[in-house]
Amino acid sequence: MPFCPNCKLEFEVSVKNCSDCGTELVTSLHEKIILDEDNFILLTVCTEMYEAEFIKANLESADINAFILSKQDRNYPFLGTIKIFVKKEDKNSARDYLENIIKQSPSTEEE
């Protein structure tokens, strides 16, 4: 079965490109990440994928590897969660960086 190297989704044999991102499919995923409790820690939970991608991109710009685990239903996006994990050794710097991102975000409240 072909897989999308970006989305990590599995497709039928007849499909050539990912329906979500348009990337050409590959026959296997080389990278296998196991998010075990000995090596990784939950950093935060998001409700929207764009929010998780934003946080991940910002963390990676600070050389902190982050991994997204989405248990969100694509047909009903309001169901499920999107979790961001980091390596245990990056926990403190990731939390500090995340707090910094939140402080710099524009306020949605009217003044």
Q: What pLDDT shows up at residue 59?
A: 92
Enumerate the CATH 3.30.70.1530 domain ranges in the chain, comma separated.
40-104
Q: What pLDDT shows up at residue 75?
A: 74
Sign of CA dihedral 76, 74, 20, 17: negative
Q: What pLDDT shows up at residue 53?
A: 93
40-104 belongs to CATH 3.30.70.1530: yes
- Percent helix, strand and coil across the chain, each rounded to 5? 25, 20, 50
Give pTM, 2 decimals.
Answer: 0.60
Residue ranges in the chain modelled with pLDDT below 50: 111
